[in-house]
Amino acid sequence: MGSQSFSDALGVDYGALAPLLIVLGGACVSVLLEAVLPRVRRRSVQLVFSLAVVVVALAAVIIRATSGAGDVVVLAGSLSVDAPGLFLWGTLLALAVPSVLMLADRSVEPGGVFVADPEALAEAQERVGAGSLRSTSSGLPSGTGTDTHGVVGRRGGAGPEPTTPPEMHTEIFPFVLFALGGMLAFSAANDLLTMFVALEVLSLPLYLLCGLARRRRLLSQEAAVKYFLLGAFASAFFLYGVALLYGYAGSVRLADIAASAAGPLRSDALLFAGLALLVVGLMFKASVGPFHTWTPDVYQGAPTPVTAFMAACTKVAAFGAILRVFTVAFGTTALEWRGVLWAVAIASMVIGTVLGITQTDLKRMVAYSSVAHAGFILIGCLAITPAGLSGTLFYLLAYGFTTIAILGLVSLVRSGDGEAGHLSGYAGLAQRSPVVAAALSFCLLALAGVPLTSGFTAKFAVFSAGLADGMAPLVIVGLVCSAIAAFFYLRVIVLMYFSDPAPDGPTVSLPGPMTTVAITLGVAVTLLLGVLPTAALEWAGAGTFLG
Amino acid sequence: MSPTNYLLLSALLFSIGTVGVLVRRNAIVVFMCVELMLNAVNLSLVTFSRINGSLDGQVMAFFVMVVAAAEVVVGLSIIMAIFRTRRTASVDDANLLKY
Amino acid sequence: MQGSAGLTAYVPLIVMFVLAGGFALFSVTAAPYIGPRRYNRAKLDTYECGIEPSPQPVVGGGRVPVAYYLTAMLFILFDIEMVFLYPFVINIDALGLFGLVEIVLFIGTVAFAYAYVWRRGGLDWT
């Protein structure tokens, strides 16, 4: 068999695969850059390179989407590049731009979140004027275990040198690109094995990113351990689900599972046991309902830019996969399993709302709000109709940008040693920094779903799709939860505008250009999608999944 | 021997792993239990491959093995990092993050 | 005829055995001539099995030897990639040039990681 015919049989469509290949290839090159570049140039080169990769991949998605090329299934049926898939890819890559900017920023915190050696940096800042600021990073990031943190006396320069910026763990850039590549593959995976591998490719870098902060190191590492152990646990469930479905259908392709389920010959025990286990793994990643336990701890403990990336992009990828699995593989049996997931959606909305009210830390509050939002998004996923699909896609886009903006703003409000996470720190913020307070209020209103913000349009789209598909009780629970959740968003706004600031309260850092761009982008998209949602809604509803 | 027995064994191993994750306190042991779960899945993949008469399941077991190896490396480095700062690998001692 | 045809199938296996044995013999004989000779006390000591117990870490102050751990992890990572080479070799004829290019790309990906580990000191045993 000739090589040409074999690659044809595989279905290697480079045009369709371009965004994925660019991101994953870029990640590999980024690792190589990490190896060969001298230390002082790593950060700037890596930043420009990563941004370029993301932007080029985004351009490839847009070109593909506007070229009118049809939906294709590529690589022997393992990936499906269809209209909703392209929308998800576009959303992920668009969210990656502000995420990368925030990760790379060093203006908010001296040396950035991922500074390699904070103690050395602090020492050097005390000796400002003495010149040599040249902390040396150790070999590998803390994750791989060779570094000797806090070793004193590794200062470089013997004489007065020009002040070089402090170093950071530039490994974050390849990590982000690998995670992004995994997310792209996850949301386009057309068979369960690809989905599993993509799940791990997206998860493993995220586990490491969570643990890389050197200030407040214990919190960060604890978040990483919790996320890792629970994540590995959940992916084992996912995998057992895959195995059972393979036993049921004799194939892991989503379309084949649907075809087997349509035949009356097999016992349903394997099918539904497999679906249940699969759903546990997927719901964990999307931080839905009772599988959310990792979310608050990890959101709080991880460095804030990582939280932003994780909250926005993982949710998009996970719900993309959930939509695809529900629609393509289990659309024909929806009547039999949907009731159980009603319960999950209700649990998610109620848990997120009730526990969100009791939180006193803003990042934890955002985490519980994300659990509640996951419940809302699940309503859209359960309505296996074109309206449900487009509503969910729009919701993901809107929610991602709002979350990134909120977490960017949270990273600006700082007390002595780090972020002022506690809500009391936000008292009277409007007097200290009207702009930050206004932007934060706007984003919180978007999460609450107030008209003229993207949150309203998104909720409306999802709820109306649910109602049209006969899920009235679920929608009613959703509305009640939205109303209750609005209380805790409004509480923060009231706190910021109508209380007096504490005399020793936190300060508001002036963001550097990169964080400013990221936050502005998030706020602007939130406003734009609220005022003029038509174009995005049309694109989201442009097509259906290809099995 | 009927292949179904292997499926039962696999389910049993998976359950042992699950219980281990839930009750053990040392992060390394918890992690080993997760690995046990993954390998239980491998057993059922191979068994289903035999029942279905296709090779896909065996190839999938390869992928699972590779992914598990990568997971081991990442997991152990995270556990290592926290051990070096806290001097303990107990999951109960990591309790800074809570409401 | 039938019997000899059956035996011919084993010729590559025998050649492999001969090659393996030859390599082992060559290594053992060549080592004294081309290897460096450095003697120290430990080398001339009587052989005893088991390792000497290392000093126990004092609470909070001791060190965990991570060098072995890191090397072991790296070994596992690079070793497990073999899993994919095996099916490739079995099907090399069917996969053709396309498969070859793909597997070279795959090895290249692993090589990138190797370059990173090497340049950043992951292979230094200290």
Does any CB of chain B come closer than 8 Å to the CB of residue A239? yes
What's residue A154's pLDDT?
35
- Same domain for C32 and C76, yes or no, is no
Tokens linked to B24: 């053990």
- Would the pLDDT of A156 be above 70? no
With a pLDDT cut of 70, the percent of chain B lying above it is 86
Distance from C-alpha of A214 to C-alpha of A331, rounded to nearest angstrom: 46
On the 0-12 / 13-18 / 19+ scale of CB atoms within 10 A, A79 is buried
Is A3's CB within 8 Å of C121's CB?
no
- Would the pLDDT of B99 be above 60? no
Does any CB of chain B come closer than 8 Å to the CB of residue A251? yes
Per the DSSP assignment, residues forming a β-bridge with A253 are A191
> Per the domain annotation, does C57 fall within a domain?
no
**What residues in C contact B76, CB-CB < 8 Å?**
69, 73
Mean pLDDT within A484-510: 83
- Would the pLDDT of A150 be above 50? no
What's residue A166's pLDDT?
56
> Per the domain annotation, does C49 fall within a domain?
no
C106, C116, C117, C125: best to mutate for the A interface, most A CBs within 10 A: C116
> Per the domain annotation, does C43 fall within a domain?
no
**Residue pointed to by tokens 């926290």:** B82
Is A146's CB within 8 Å of C66's CB?
yes
Other Cβ atoms within 10 Å of C100 Cβ, number: 13
- Would the pLDDT of B96 be above 80? no
* Subunit partners of chain A (3 or more CB pairs within 8 A): B, C
Of the ranges A365-369, A477-481, B82-86, which one carries the lowest mean pLDDT score?
A: B82-86
What's residue A43's pLDDT?
86
Measured in degrees and rounded to the nearest 5, phi and psi for residue A302 equal -70, 155
Concatenated DSSP letters of A334-378: HHHHHHHHHHHHHHHHHHHHHHHHT--BHHHHHHHHHHHHHHHHH
What's residue A126's pLDDT?
58
Residue ranges of A 102-161 with Cβ closer than 8 A to chain C: 139-140, 144-146
- The whole-angstrom distance between A205's CA and the closest CA on chain C is 14
Of the ranges A166-180, A311-325, A358-372, B6-20, which one carries the lowest mean pLDDT score?
A: A166-180
Other Cβ atoms within 10 Å of A327 Cβ, number: 22
- The whole-angstrom distance between C70's CA and the closest CA on chain A is 7
What's residue A345's pLDDT?
93
- Would the pLDDT of A157 be above 50? no
**Residue pointed to by tokens 């084949």:** A256
Does any CB of chain C come closer than 8 Å to the CB of residue A483? no
What's residue C25's pLDDT?
94
Nearest neighbour of B74 by CB, restricted to A204, A221, A360: A204
Question: Is A190 strand, coil or helix?
Answer: coil
> Per the domain annotation, does C85 fall within a domain?
yes
**What residues in A contact B17, CB-CB < 8 Å?**
236
Q: What is the pLDDT of residues B27-71, one digit of tens each?
A: 888 999 999 999 999 999 999 999 988 888 998 999 999 999 999
Nearest CA in chain B to C57: B87
> Per the domain annotation, does C99 fall within a domain?
yes
- The pLDDT-based confidence of A137 (bands split at 50, 70, 90) is very low
More confident residue, B23 or A138: B23
On the 0-12 / 13-18 / 19+ scale of CB atoms within 10 A, C51 is exposed
Per the DSSP assignment, residues forming a β-bridge with A98 are none
Distance from C-alpha of A446 to C-alpha of C59, rounded to nearest angstrom: 51
What's residue A58's pLDDT?
95
Nearest neighbour of C98 by CB, restricted to A3, A28, A31: A3
Q: What is the pLDDT of residues C32-65, one digit of tens each?
A: 888 877 777 777 766 656 555 455 555 545 555 6
- Would the pLDDT of A180 be above 90? yes
Distance from C-alpha of A315 to C-alpha of A327, rounded to nearest angstrom: 18
> Per the domain annotation, does C15 fall within a domain?
yes
Residue ranges of C 79-118 with Cβ closer than 8 A to chain B: 80-81, 83-84, 87
Cα angle: C102, vertex A49, C116; to 5 degrees = 60
Question: Is A56 strand, coil or helix?
Answer: helix
> Per the domain annotation, does C58 fall within a domain?
no
Are A77 and A253 in contact by the 8 Å Cβ rule? The answer is yes
C80, C84, C110, C114: best to mutate for the B interface, most B CBs within 10 A: C80
Return the CATH fold of B4-86. Helix Hairpins (1.10.287)
Is A146's CB within 8 Å of C122's CB?
yes
The whole-model pTM stands at: 0.84
What's residue A147's pLDDT?
36
Mean pLDDT within A49-72: 90
Of the ranges A291-300, A391-400, A507-516, which one carries the lowest mean pLDDT score?
A: A507-516
* Subunit partners of chain C (3 or more CB pairs within 8 A): A, B
- The pLDDT-based confidence of A483 (bands split at 50, 70, 90) is very high
Distance from C-alpha of B21 to C-alpha of B44, rounded to nearest angstrom: 20
Distance from C-alpha of A148 to C-alpha of A129, rounded to nearest angstrom: 28
Mean pLDDT within A179-205: 94
* A212 torsion bin: left (phi>0), alpha (psi -120 to 50), beta (else): alpha
Residue ranges of C 65-84 with Cβ closer than 8 A to chain B: 66, 69, 73, 76-77, 80-81, 83-84
Does any CB of chain C come closer than 8 Å to the CB of residue A4? yes
Cα angle: A166, vertex A363, A395; to 5 degrees = 110
What's residue A372's pLDDT?
94
What's residue A56's pLDDT?
95
> Per the domain annotation, does C25 fall within a domain?
yes
- The pLDDT-based confidence of A347 (bands split at 50, 70, 90) is very high
What's residue A151's pLDDT?
34
With a pLDDT cut of 90, the percent of chain A lying above it is 48
Nearest neighbour of A225 by CB, restricted to B57, B70, B79: B79
Nearest CA in chain A to C98: A3
Nearest CA in chain A to B53: A250
Cα angle: A506, vertex A509, A513; to 5 degrees = 160
- Would the pLDDT of B20 be above 60? yes
Nearest neighbour of C80 by CB, restricted to B69, B84, B87: B69
Q: State how far the alpha carbon of B25 is from the alpha carbons of A219, A226, A229, B13, in Å.
A: 19, 13, 12, 19
End-to-end CA distance of chain B: 53
Q: What is the pLDDT of residues C56-70, one digit of tens each?
A: 555 545 555 666 777
- Same domain for C71 and C110, yes or no, is yes
**What residues in C contact B73, CB-CB < 8 Å?**
73, 76-77
Q: Domain of residue C14: give its range.
A: 1-37
What's residue A114's pLDDT?
75
On the 0-12 / 13-18 / 19+ scale of CB atoms within 10 A, A396 is buried
* Subunit partners of chain B (3 or more CB pairs within 8 A): A, C
Is A144's CB within 8 Å of C118's CB?
no
Q: Side chain identity at C90, as an amino acid letter?
A: I
What's residue A119's pLDDT?
61
Question: Is A129 strand, coil or helix?
Answer: coil
- Same domain for C75 and C126, yes or no, is yes
- Same domain for C71 and C27, yes or no, is no
- The pLDDT-based confidence of C95 (bands split at 50, 70, 90) is confident
Is the CA virtual torsion C27, C28, C30, C33 positive or negative? Answer: positive
What's residue A134's pLDDT?
37
What's residue A1's pLDDT?
41
What's residue C77's pLDDT?
78
Q: What is the pLDDT of residues A215-239, one digit of tens each?
A: 778 888 888 999 999 999 999 999 9
Is B76's CB within 8 Å of C77's CB?
no
Measured in degrees and rounded to the nearest 5, phi and psi for residue A79 equal -130, 145
Chain C residues at the A interface, defined by Cβ less than 8 Å, are 66, 69-70, 94-99, 108-109, 112-113, 115-122, 124
What's residue A155's pLDDT?
36
- The whole-angstrom distance between C118's CA and the closest CA on chain A is 8
**What residues in A contact C118, CB-CB < 8 Å?**
35
End-to-end CA distance of chain A: 28
Nearest neighbour of A35 by CB, restricted to C98, C109, C115: C115
Nearest CA in chain C to A141: C120
- The whole-angstrom distance between C52's CA and the closest CA on chain A is 24
How large is the ipTM? 0.94
Is B83's CB within 8 Å of C76's CB?
no
- The whole-angstrom distance between C60's CA and the closest CA on chain B is 7
Count of domains in chain C?
Answer: 2
More confident residue, A110 or A88: A88
